[in-house]
Amino acid sequence: MKDYKTMKRVGVLTSGGDSPGMNAAIRAVVRSCRYYNLESVGILQGYEGLIQNDMLTLGPRSVKNIINQGGTILKTARSEEFRTIEGRKKAYQNIQKNNIDGLIVIGGDGSFKGANIFHQEFNLPFIGIPGTIDNDIFGTDYTIGYDTALNTVVEAVDKLRDTATSHDRVFFVEVMGRDAGFIALNSGIASGAQNILIPEKKDHINELIQSLEQSAKSGKKSSIVVVAEGEELGNVYELAKQVKAKHPDYDIRVTVLGHIQRGGNPSCQDRVLASRLGIAAVEALMKGKTNVMTGLRSNKIVYTPIEEAIQKHHSIDNELLKVAKILAI
């Protein structure tokens, strides 16, 4: 392992799905490197860039005017070749060729798994920064991009409510989150959804139908049902079809928000979070830390062993489940 005192060049890459705020994290890494008299190297297209030697030296002016931009200036891609030992050997050869002493990986748990294997094989120091809209990584209260995605969903559902109210319709709205329900639960509460279906709790189609029936009896003429994409009852179209079969009189519409949730200008919270975690990652390398993820807990920077971040789960707050139930009356 490199001694922290010899840490001179730091590589940074983004991997996996993009999330708003990744650019702010890149900016923080590059500018903190300059602040601490380190060189920074941007690696394009994630791990594929390591294999293809697609890299460029970055400085403070290289990252100007990107803090407000969604996506990632370094691009991101999934690399099948990096899954092979031969691919990882190529990547390490290019790490050596470019004199990179430590690596910062911005991404989700899949990105961290790749970095962890790479570290075990070649002993290269690396720090992870959690960048995913799903907020499903253990070791941090929030991941970069989550807050922006929530705001995007709430804005979209607010607009759908206008047409639902105008036409007395039931809208089923599918949101992202993979197999986690954080986006669905929080955006559902914030947008006043009648029902919120998430993978973490066992939902039953009969309970959903009964809830909609009770809603109609109480005088509600329109409803919003927010469904996480990993909901175990079935996909949003299947759920809408089952409700329609029971109640042909319901005017039901389905909206899948899709990748709109991954784009857009990052929120203030995501920009500040990304800036803090980017600086913390550089400082962690300088202190000799490796194989850890930077995170924020109770508004304090923390470092979580990468294997814990990968293996453990960020759990749903039961109080929020209660809040959703009470407010659906």
Give the SS3 label for residue 7. coil
- Active site residue: 109, 134, 136, 203, which one? 134
Q: What are the b/e assignments for 52-85, b being 16+ CB within 10 Å?
A: bebbeebeeebbeebbebbbbbbbbebbeebeee
In the residue annotation, 134 being an active-site residue is answered as yes
**Separation between Cα atoms, residue 277 and residue 144, nearest integer Å:** 9
**Separation between Cα atoms, residue 178 and residue 157, nearest integer Å:** 19
> Closest Cα to residue 107, out of 127, 87, 122, 85?
127
Beta-bridged to residue 255, according to DSSP, are 173
The secondary structure of residue 71, as a DSSP letter, is S
Beta-bridged to residue 130, according to DSSP, are 107
Residue 127: count of CB within 10 angstroms of its CB: 29
Beta-bridged to residue 14, according to DSSP, are 106
Residues 243, 211 contacting (CB under 8 angstroms)? no
Q: Strands 300-305 and 292-297, how do they pair?
A: antiparallel
> Closest Cα to residue 20, out of 204, 210, 256, 273?
273
Helix (H) or strand (E) holding 107: strand 102-107
Active site members: 134
